[in-house]
Amino acid sequence: MVSADFISVEQRRQLGATDLYLSPIGLGTVKFGRTTGLNYPNEFTLPNESTLDKLLYLAESLGINLLDTAPAYGVSEQRLGSLLASRKDKFIVSTKVGEYHINGQSHYDFSAKSTRTSIENSLKALRRSELDLVMVHSDGADADIITKSDVLQTLQQYKEKGLVRYIGFSGKTVAGSLLAIEQVDAFMVTLNRQDSSQLELLKIAKDRNKGILIKKAFASGHAANNDALDYVVNYPGVTSAIVGTINPEHLRANVSALTL
């Protein structure tokens, strides 16, 4: 393996059994649209449009082709819709349903009605005719979400309509998340040097050819170093690690830190 200053097309990884090929790190965009109620060590202000535009061009030039967003990320989806209007084919966008940012707070709703509204809002905000990947944004009650709500069934209906390409689950428990394994194409899993609690899910998902995206690779900014990123990106079965930043130097450093 060698260090990478640029992620080539050949270094992209297939997301499970889907036809999506992703860069081994993706850009998380919570800081594009939300500043409150976050577990980051340092405060920040929302960047202006010009700053974000330059950051996305940098991401593209570094070979990053995955952006991760969510309704819970404030105005992130709306800003991405505007910023990507002229280059929609450059990025695969993952978004979510279930968690919503209202008056500075997170609220959860996994009902069929809320899921439909969320998908329609995301299509409009992102200015897309279809959503590449939609994850269920769990509040931690994974088993109840899967067995007692209609969120996955509703997402499947939108997949059958051609408005959602692939479905995923971003949970907090192994046993709960595994209840969704027959219904999803991918999982978003927590993995870092401090937290390996979801390794069993990662291993089972790998065996079942489900895509794996990693969240909290740097423990929400509390463990930022080269070894931390290499650990998750090169863990067997991992497709891509989502790393959130609005700092171009951090983005460059994240790519340079990779040994692929």
- Confidence (pLDDT) at 41: 76
Scored b (16 or more CB within 10 A) or e, 152-187 reads: bebbebbbeeebbbbbbbbbebbebbbbbeeebbbb
Domain membership of residue 229 (yes or no) is yes
Q: Where would I find the H helices in the chain?
A: 49-61, 76-83, 112-126, 142-148, 151-161, 174-178, 199-207, 226-233, 248-257
Cα distance between residue 121 and residue 78, in whole Å: 10
Q: Which residue has the tokens 């192994």?
A: 174
Cα distance between residue 87 and residue 60, in whole Å: 10
Contacts of 246 (CB under 8 A, 6+ apart): 31, 32, 44, 47, 51, 52, 55
The residue segments making up the domain with residue 96 are: 22-257
Question: Tens digit of pLDDT per residue, the chain (260 long)?
Answer: 545 688 999 999 999 999 999 999 999 999 999 988 887 777 889 999 999 999 999 999 999 999 999 999 999 999 999 999 988 899 999 999 999 988 888 899 999 999 999 999 999 999 999 999 999 999 999 999 999 999 999 999 999 999 999 999 999 999 999 999 999 999 999 999 889 999 999 999 999 999 999 999 987 554 556 688 889 999 999 999 999 999 999 999 999 988 88
Q: How many CB atoms lie within 10 A of CB 42?
A: 5
Contacts of 157 (CB under 8 A, 6+ apart): none
- Confidence (pLDDT) at 220: 55
Residue 223 amino acid letter: A
Domain membership of residue 116 (yes or no) is yes
Domain membership of residue 16 (yes or no) is no
Q: What are phi and psi of 32, to 5 degrees?
A: -80, -20
Domain membership of residue 196 (yes or no) is yes
- Confidence (pLDDT) at 114: 98
How many separate domains does the chain show?
1
Residues in the chain: 260
Q: Which residue has the tokens 């995301």?
A: 122
Domain membership of residue 189 (yes or no) is yes
Sign of CA dihedral 237, 217, 68, 26: negative
Helices (H) then strands (E): counts for the chain: 9, 12
- Confidence (pLDDT) at 2: 47
Domain membership of residue 49 (yes or no) is yes
Element (H, E) at 105: strand 105-108
Cα distance between residue 39 and residue 234, in whole Å: 25
- Confidence (pLDDT) at 39: 78
CATH code of the domain in which 75 resides: 3.20.20.100
Domain membership of residue 168 (yes or no) is yes
Domain membership of residue 11 (yes or no) is no
